[in-house]
């Protein structure tokens, strides 16, 4: 049985005079200890997915319909009070910017101890012992001294390690990491990612990694969801998606990377922009930017189909694939 | 792209009407009512010489024998005086109209002066920075910690003592505008400076500098227009505060003289009669004052909610 | 830490020098000390002689330095009206004013935090709307009108509470008589305290609410929620501490405003404090007393502001006093 | 300095000589005051953002400056653009020293050198329509130009960056990030510059939009013969866009070489670590060189090599003596004692 099973999850935002759909019937599963990447550009709905899973959408966003089954329990409709034993305990979250994630006026120790005490009956001394242990696991030097320090006394990379240690405090089944390294430098990012990968594998913790960086997804995850305009347009094994993307958007995204083109040559760009949430076209949301789009793409919304080992939401995937094969044979 | 391309070019009026601000105004009954009341008070007081049945500044029209008539809905009233008369026998309705006019005039002019001083100083301090900035802001801090009212009381007290009350009363309007205007400059200066500092960090200012534009052009054409929302918000609050300050100073006898009363001095003169039961001399101008200040504050609140500028704290 | 203290002290002294200069300039230009001393009947020759003796013909700077020297020793001149050292006159009135400020501060601190926090946590509840509505009305009513209104209702109409004076005070020590020792004292100080608090309370409620709402939007509050922390702890540990930090600084500035408003409150309630005394001194053109008041009030502002700055530095972990100093 | 680029026809357009920039942390006497060992002393702390940086930009090339946050790359850009005054060293443009000139004296140079910024949401004045924003520099620098000529110029530039001229009366907030960056580029191009400083121009944009903007910049380079000083932290962009690369660490030059040379044969230990840290698309085994610790603050600089504290090859000499950039056989300039002595590990 899977750890997490999301079915037709729809999130809406109540705007000034209309309600816009930010997540449109997304469905996916996550097995125990599995690492899943969610990629997409800003506004694609990937962060909203993360917060919806935690039931932490801030107003005006709300879960409109659909189900989230976590450890065999339906959690989509739970109240804040009912969610509290799950948050931070069974399901932990790592935020994007470690500089603003930790409370500036509380020490690292206070923030770690309160997390433990929120879910377990523990004395302060015991909680501190566990905290020190976890800090050691994330390779923080002299963890005993860190407990008394305030966040501003530590560097960004160090803070993100602490946030990871906090996520692991209660040995959760699932960690949702929302762009955990975007705010960090490349060399630090590589360290943090390696650490996260190591901890998830050794503790059999499920990971949902939300990122815009295909390189990170490629190195970190087993399966990937590609999101566009609030929908999942492609899903499957990471390797398959990176090596042989089926959806024209995923293809475009990978081809647009500078390393896919010879230096100095024109990059293969996708024309136009992703539509805003208020102006998602009928039919396939990618149709206006898609070079393969035909009338049907603009009229009807594509269903998800299995094709070449991935799930893809595209009318034309069959024909496209044939064209590519023809090109290659020709 | 799609949002830009679909709809045709809106006219200027449509732009304004559909703007966030106009929309939230239409949706907010408190704001609409407040604006209506404010405009009503402002127009009536502006037209005081036309509307008022008596001229409270004309001694020939005042008869001490008419003093302390209650308003018409109270026993013992004279139908001639709708809101009754004050201790000197002046028609309260007329006096209030004139008094409101004075209060509004002083409030608006003082805020104009504050805005002029504060915006200039704030822009300069924020844009130039360095020693000049820290000096000016230190000064602003000190003056703020003394509070406007304190500065105004001391200034007016000394002025009154120096010139004698005769001369003082003659020029009271100007003294009040000057002192409320000067004493409150730090409010504007700090807000403007904070905004300028925030705007200055933005790249459009760098871009203007790289294009070779001079500091004056950058300040006036680029930074100032982007600092307007906090200025708008603070201006409404400042008008309300200035009216209260004026009323308070007049109440203490350091403002408008009883012969030329503003709302504050009217309340002050009525206070002496409150124990003898002539409540209306205090109460009616008091209500007018509170309503006037309240609607301005409500408008300011609404504006703060809509524009949501980062105001200077502390 | 010590260096930081020294820095603040330097600033405080600079401000006090500026205030004393203003004070001296007023004294120098306002009224003629000779007339107060000897009256009109003395010949011009004696006047000149007296002027020389009093040092009134010295240069402005020499006189200012002398004024400063005296001031440091606690000599702020002699009140024309009371014929007593001005500082003594003020010291006799100071406790009454301080008790009034204390009463108002207790009301403000006691009410603003719970009301501000409540309205921030439940911004759409009916009590919140009532509190916010009342607060904007409160801000819009001038202190003196609130005072008059309360006198009219509670004294003139209902006869519940006295309308003026300090009533039955109990002597503590030195110049200090207290209102807080018996029922009559409490009854007398209640209305003036409420009146004085009436302008500041709504300001603080709104300030705390605004700060708190901003803090509740922050990432770290969202993160605390994501960790499953109890809302009570989020509100009162995570959010409140961050809320109160800016409030402390504003509070320091408002102490000045509060002292200024005592002039209004004391006038309405005939409260025998230094604000009431100051207005009388103004009417009597009692220059030394005016100047002494200015300097004493300035001193109170400077001291409180310095203390507030220090407290802020001690409470806020991101301001490192040790690093600022050493 | 020896010409490290093979093509001899290129002339130097920009030269930085021993450029330094310090930001004083303590302003005013009281802030400098320290209390130590029972007595008061004064002490100045400064952020050493750029330390003794010398480099040349050849006409027609795209010189990329890479490094992590705090390495001083943006400061270099802002110094060149005249947004900051250097604390030491010289900046020469086209043979003329420009760092000591007043704003008025630099007016003519402003038309030659323009800048593109990182954040397209902040680099356009929100209260100006696109038309106003684009017209302003044209009018300012060509006071005599007729109204219709100004409009024609603006329309031409808009066309060339792919923004529909009929949208000129709209405000920046009506455009997406990518479109705004196009408009920002258009604004820089209105004065017909020959040299563009681009400070992380694509890092705030989404991947698919990054490609659009990079393409636009490449086109502009070819069509208008532009020279770029391109600041970025993204090595894959460098590889694609740059002709030469400078790697900065803590405000000092680590390595400067041809792009191809740098990517095929990185020499400085920091460059190696940086290259290995980039997440690779096709390779799922992260195999990067792990560095000790994190970037130290640029407040108190080490006396030796700035990278020594994190370097696996550091020895005593590295801790005490700051390495100077030395030319390598393949033309690269590398500031590293270990490379010089041939004792590099890993």
pLDDT confidence bin for B226, thresholds 50/70/90 = confident
Say whether D40 and C3 touch across the interface (CB within 8 A).
yes
- D175: closest chain A residue by CA: A273
Pairing of strands D227-232, D62-66: parallel
DSSP H/E element including A134: helix A124-137
pLDDT confidence bin for D346, thresholds 50/70/90 = very low
The mean-pLDDT minimum among C7-11, C282-286, D263-267, D296-300 falls in D296-300
CA distance C323 to chain D (A): 9
- C146: closest chain B residue by CA: B286
CA–chain centroid gap for D137, Å, is 23
Beta bridge partners of A37: A209, A224
CA distance B268 to chain D (A): 47
Residues of chain C with Cβ-Cβ distance to A95 below 8 Å are 219, 222-223, 226
Q: Which of D82, D103, D123 sits opposite B203 (nearest CB)?
A: D123
Say whether C30 and B158 touch across the interface (CB within 8 A).
yes
| B189 compared with D288, residue with greater pLDDT | B189
B171 shares contact with chain A (CB less than 8 Å): no
C230 shares contact with chain A (CB less than 8 Å): yes
Q: Which of D106, D117, D141 sits opposite B206 (nearest CB)?
A: D117
Q: Check pLDDT > 50 for residue B3.
A: no
Contacts (Cβ under 8 Å, ≥6 apart) of A94? A160, A163, A164, A167, A175, A176, A177, A178, A180
Which residues, numbered 91 to 150 in chain B, qualify as contacts with chain D under a Cβ-Cβ cut-off of 8 Å?
130-131, 134
pLDDT at A110: 93
Say whether D123 and B204 touch across the interface (CB within 8 A).
yes
Neighbours of chain A (3+ CB pairs under 8 A): B, C, D
Q: Which of A41, A187, A190 sits opposite D207 (nearest CB)?
A: A41
Residues of chain B with Cβ-Cβ distance to D176 below 8 Å are 1
Cβ atoms C278, C290 nearer than 8 A: yes
What's the average model confidence in pLDDT over D219-243?
90
pLDDT at D26: 65
Cβ atoms C326, D34 nearer than 8 A: yes
Q: Check pLDDT > 90 for residue B153.
A: no
Q: Which of A186, A243, A264 sits opposite D278 (nearest CB)?
A: A186
User: Which of B149, B157, B240 to mutate to test binding with chain C, by most C CBs within 10 Å of its CB?
Assistant: B157
pLDDT at A328: 61
Backbone angles phi, psi at C78, to 5 degrees: -115, 135
pLDDT at D62: 92
What confidence tens digit (pLDDT) does each residue in C83-128 have? Answer: 888 888 898 888 889 889 989 999 998 999 999 999 999 988 999 9
What's the average model confidence in pLDDT over C232-238?
91
Residues of chain C with Cβ-Cβ distance to D35 below 8 Å are 2-3, 6, 325-326
B196 shares contact with chain C (CB less than 8 Å): no
Could you give the C-alpha distances from A293 to A283, A289, A299, A303, A320, in angstroms and in order? 11, 8, 11, 15, 10
What confidence tens digit (pLDDT) does each residue in D179-226 have? Answer: 899 999 999 999 999 999 999 998 888 888 889 999 999 999 999 999
- Of B79, B137, B115, B101, which Cα lies nearest the Cα of B232? B115
The CATH homologous superfamily for domain C86-324 is: MetI-like (1.10.3720.10)
Q: Identify the segments of chain A with pLDDT beneath 70.
A: 1, 321-330
Q: Which of B1, B3, B23 sits opposite A272 (nearest CB)?
A: B1
How many angstroms separate the CA atoms of B280 and B76, rounded?
Answer: 13
A275 shares contact with chain B (CB less than 8 Å): yes
CA distance C108 to chain A (A): 25
Share of chain C above pLDDT 90, in %: 18
What's the average model confidence in pLDDT over C147-161?
83
pLDDT at B269: 82
What confidence tens digit (pLDDT) does each residue in A280-323 have? Answer: 888 899 998 888 888 888 888 888 888 878 889 988 877 776 66
pLDDT at D37: 60
Q: State the pTM of this model.
A: 0.83
Say whether D179 and A273 touch across the interface (CB within 8 A).
yes
Tokens coding D153? 């110029």
Residues of chain A with Cβ-Cβ distance to C229 below 8 Å are 88, 114-115, 118
For chain D, strand residue ranges (E) read 12-24, 33-36, 39-42, 46-58, 62-66, 88-93, 96-97, 113-116, 195-199, 227-232, 244-249, 252-258, 326-327, 333-334
Burial class (CB in 10 A: 0-12, 13-18, 19+), B60: exposed
Burial class (CB in 10 A: 0-12, 13-18, 19+), D85: exposed
Cβ atoms D189, D221 nearer than 8 A: no
What's the average model confidence in pLDDT over D243-257?
93
Residues of chain C with Cβ-Cβ distance to B282 below 8 Å are 148, 152
pLDDT confidence bin for C41, thresholds 50/70/90 = low
How many angstroms separate the CA atoms of A206 and A31, rounded?
Answer: 7
The mean-pLDDT minimum among A274-278, B278-282, C202-206, D70-74 falls in B278-282
pLDDT at D181: 92
Tokens coding C103? 């009463």
pLDDT at C2: 64
Say whether D35 and C326 touch across the interface (CB within 8 A).
yes
CA distance B303 to chain D (A): 19
CA distance B221 to chain D (A): 9
Cβ atoms D343, D318 nearer than 8 A: no
Share of chain B above pLDDT 70, in %: 92
Q: Which of A187, A243, A273 sits opposite D291 (nearest CB)?
A: A187
Task: Look up tokens 């704030």; give the residue.
Answer: B122
Per residue in C246-259, is it b (16+ CB within 10 Å) or e — as a string? bbebbbbbbbbbbb
pLDDT confidence bin for D166, thresholds 50/70/90 = confident
Say whether A187 and D176 touch across the interface (CB within 8 A).
no
Say whether D30 and C2 touch across the interface (CB within 8 A).
no
Range with top average pLDDT, A256-260, B57-61, B258-262, D260-264: D260-264
How many angstroms separate the CA atoms of D16 and D50, rounded?
Answer: 12
Q: Which SS3 state, helix, strand or coil, does residue A211 take?
A: strand
pLDDT at C128: 92
| D214 compared with B71, residue with greater pLDDT | D214
pLDDT at C1: 58
pLDDT confidence bin for C222, thresholds 50/70/90 = very high
Cβ atoms A12, A64 nearer than 8 A: yes
Mean of pLDDT over chain D: 85
Chain C, chain D: beta-carbon pairs less than 8 Å apart: 18
pLDDT confidence bin for D138, thresholds 50/70/90 = very high
What's the average model confidence in pLDDT over C146-162?
83
Beta bridge partners of D66: D232, D247
Contacts (Cβ under 8 Å, ≥6 apart) of B249? B149, B152, B153, B156, B176, B179, B180, B255, B264
pLDDT at D4: 43
pLDDT confidence bin for D53, thresholds 50/70/90 = very high
Backbone angles phi, psi at D18, to 5 degrees: 45, 45
What confidence tens digit (pLDDT) does each residue in D2-35 have? Answer: 444 444 446 899 999 999 998 887 655 555 555 5
């Amino acid at each position: 049985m899977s750890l997490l099973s999301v079915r037709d999850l729809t999130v809406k935002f109540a705007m000034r005079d209309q309600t816009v759909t930010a997540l449109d019937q997304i469905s996916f599963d996550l097995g125990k200890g599995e690492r899943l990447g969610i990629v997409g550009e800003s506004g694609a709905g990937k962060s909203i997915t993360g917060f919806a899973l935690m039931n932490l959408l801030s107003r005006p966003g709300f879960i409109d319909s659909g189900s989230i089954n976590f450890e065999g329990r339906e959690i989509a409709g739970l109240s804040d009070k009912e969610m509290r034993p799950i948050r931070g305990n069974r399901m932990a979250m790592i935020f994007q910017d470690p500089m603003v994630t930790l409370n500036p006026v509380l020490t690292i120790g206070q923030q770690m101890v309160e997390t433990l005490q929120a879910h377990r009956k523990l004395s302060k001394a015991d909680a501190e012992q566990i905290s020190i242990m976890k800090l050691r696991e994330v390779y923080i030097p002299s963890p005993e001294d860190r407990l008394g320090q305030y966040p501003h006394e530590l560097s960004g990379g160090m803070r993100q390690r602490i946030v990871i240690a906090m996520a692991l405090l209660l040995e959760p089944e699932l960690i949702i990491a929302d762009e955990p390294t975007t705010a960090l430098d490349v060399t630090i990012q590589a360290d943090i990612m390696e650490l996260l990968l190591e901890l998830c594998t050794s503790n059999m913790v499920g990971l949902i990694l939300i990122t815009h960086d295909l390189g990170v997804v490629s190195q970190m995850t087993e399966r990937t969801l590609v999101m566009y305009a609030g929908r999942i347009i492609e899903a499957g094994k990471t390797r398959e998606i990176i090596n042989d993307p089926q959806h024209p958007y995923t293809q475009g995204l990978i081809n647009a990377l500078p390393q896919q083109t010879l230096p100095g040559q024109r990059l293969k760009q996708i024309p136009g922009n992703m539509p805003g949430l208020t102006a998602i076209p009928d039919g396939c949301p990618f149709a206006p930017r898609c070079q393969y789009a035909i009338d049907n793409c603009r009229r009807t919304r594509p269903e998800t189909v299995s094709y070449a080992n991935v799930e893809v939401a595209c009318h034309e995937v069959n024909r496209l694939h044939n064209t590519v094969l023809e090109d290659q044979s020709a | 792209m799609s949002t830009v391309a679909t709809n045709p070019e809106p006219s200027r009026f449509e732009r304004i009407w559909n703007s966030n601000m106009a929309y939230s105004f239409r949706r907010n009954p408190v704001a609409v009512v407040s604006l209506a009341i404010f405009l009503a008070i402002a127009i009536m007081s502006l037209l005081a010489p036309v509307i008022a049945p008596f001229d409270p500044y004309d001694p020939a029209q005042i008869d001490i024998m008419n003093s302390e008539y209650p308003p018409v809905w109270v026993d013992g009233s004279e139908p001639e005086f709708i809101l009754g008369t004050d201790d000197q026998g002046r028609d309260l309705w007329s006096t209030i109209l004139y008094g409101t006019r004075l209060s509004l005039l002083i409030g608006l002019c003082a805020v104009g002066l504050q805005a002029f001083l504060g915006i200039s100083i704030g822009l300069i301090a924020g844009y130039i920075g360095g020693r000049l900035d820290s000096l000016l802001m230190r000064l602003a801090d000190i003056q703020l910690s003394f509070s406007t009212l304190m500065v105004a009381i001391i200034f007016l007290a000394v002025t009154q003592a120096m010139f004698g009350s005769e001369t003082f009363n003659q020029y009271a309007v100007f003294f009040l505008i000057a002192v409320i205007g000067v004493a409150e400059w730090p409010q504007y200066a700090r807000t403007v400076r904070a905004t300028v500092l925030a705007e200055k960090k933005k790249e459009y200012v760098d871009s203007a500098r790289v294009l070779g534009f001079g500091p004056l052009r950058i300040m006036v054409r680029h930074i100032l227009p982007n600092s307007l929302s906090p200025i708008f918000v603070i201006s409404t609050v400042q008008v309300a505060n200035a009216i209260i300050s004026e009323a308070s100073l007049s109440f203490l006898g350091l403002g408008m003289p009883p012969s030329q009363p503003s709302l504050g001095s009217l309340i002050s003169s009525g206070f002496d009669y409150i124990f003898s039961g002539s409540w209306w001399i205090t109460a009616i101008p008091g209500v007018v004052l509170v309503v006037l200040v309240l609607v301005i504050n409500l408008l300011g609140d609404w504006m703060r909610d809509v524009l949501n500028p980062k105001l200077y704290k502390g | 830490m010590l260096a930081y203290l020294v820095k603040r002290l330097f600033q405080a002294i600079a401000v006090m020098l500026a205030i004393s200069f203003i004070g001296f300039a007023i004294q120098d230009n306002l009224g003629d000390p000779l007339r107060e001393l000897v009256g009109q009947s003395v010949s011009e020759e004696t006047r000149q002689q007296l002027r020389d003796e009093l040092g009134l013909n010295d240069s402005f700077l020499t006189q200012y330095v002398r004024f400063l020297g005296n001031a440091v020793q606690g000599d702020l001149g002699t009140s024309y009206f009371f014929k007593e050292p001005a500082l003594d006159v003020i010291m006799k009135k100071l406790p009454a004013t301080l008790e009034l400020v204390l009463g108002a501060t207790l009301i403000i601190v006691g009410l603003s935090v719970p009301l501000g926090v409540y309205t921030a946590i439940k911004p759409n509840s009916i009590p919140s709307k009532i509190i916010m509505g009342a607060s904007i009305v409160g801000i819009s009513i001038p202190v003196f009108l609130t005072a008059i209104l309360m006198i009219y209702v509670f004294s003139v109409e209902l006869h519940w509470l006295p309308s003026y004076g300090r009533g039955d005070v109990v002597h503590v020590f030195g110049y200090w008589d207290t209102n807080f020792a018996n029922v009559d004292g409490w009854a007398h100080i209640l209305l003036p305290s409420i009146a004085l608090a009436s302008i500041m309370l709504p300001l603080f409620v709104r300030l705390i609410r605004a700060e708190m709402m901003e803090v509740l939007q922050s990432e770290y509050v969202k993160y605390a929620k994501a960790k499953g922390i109890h809302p009570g702890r989020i509100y009162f540990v995570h959010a409140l501490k961050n809320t109160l930090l800016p409030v402390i600084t504003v509070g320091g500035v408002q102490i000045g405003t509060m002292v200024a408003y005592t002039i209004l409150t004391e006038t309405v309630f005939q409260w025998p404090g230094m604000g009431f005394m100051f207005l009388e001194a103004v009417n009597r053109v009692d220059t030394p007393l005016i100047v002494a008041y200015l300097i004493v009030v300035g001193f109170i502002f400077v001291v409180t502001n310095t203390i507030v700055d220090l407290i802020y530095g001690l409470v806020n972990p991101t301001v490192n006093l040790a690093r600022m100093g050493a | 300095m020896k010409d490290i680029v093979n093509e001899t026809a290129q002339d130097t357009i920009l030269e930085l000589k021993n450029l330094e920039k310090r930001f004083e942390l303590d302003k005013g006497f009281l802030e400098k005051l320290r209390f130590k060992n029972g007595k008061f002393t004064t002490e100045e702390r400064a952020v050493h953002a750029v330390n003794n940086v010398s480099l040349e930009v050849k006409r027609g090339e795209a010189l990329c400056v890479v490094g992590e946050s705090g390495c001083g790359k943006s400061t270099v850009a802002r110094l060149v653009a005249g947004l900051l005054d250097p604390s030491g060293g010289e900046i020469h443009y086209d043979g003329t020293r420009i760092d000591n000139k007043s704003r008025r004296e630099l007016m003519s140079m402003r038309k030659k050198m323009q800048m593109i910024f990182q954040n397209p949401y902040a680099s356009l004045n929100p209260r100006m329509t696109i038309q106003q924003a684009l017209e302003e520099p044209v009018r300012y620098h060509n006071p005599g130009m007729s109204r219709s000529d100004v409009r024609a110029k603006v329309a031409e530039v808009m066309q060339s960056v792919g923004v529909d001229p009929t949208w000129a009366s709209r405000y920046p907030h009506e455009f997406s990030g990518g479109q705004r960056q196009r408009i920002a580029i258009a604004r820089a191009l209105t004065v017909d510059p020959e040299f563009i400083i681009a400070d992380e121009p694509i890092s705030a944009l989404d991947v698919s939009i990054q490609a659009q903007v990079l393409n636009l910049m490449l086109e502009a380079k070819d069509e208008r013969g532009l020279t770029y000083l391109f600041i970025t932290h993204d090595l894959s962009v460098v590889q694609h866009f740059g002709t030469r690369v400078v790697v900065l660490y803590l405000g000092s030059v680590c390595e400067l070489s041809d792009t191809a040379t740098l990517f095929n044969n990185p020499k400085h230990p920091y460059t190696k670590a940086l290259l290995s840290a980039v997440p690779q698309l096709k390779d799922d085994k992260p195999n990067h060189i792990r560095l000790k610790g994190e970037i130290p603050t640029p407040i108190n600089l080490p006396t030796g090599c700035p990278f020594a504290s994190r370097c696996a090859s550091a020895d005593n000499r590295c801790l005490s003596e700051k390495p100077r950039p030395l030319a390598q056989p393949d033309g690269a300039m590398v500031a590293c004692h270990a490379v010089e002595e041939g004792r590099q590990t890993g």
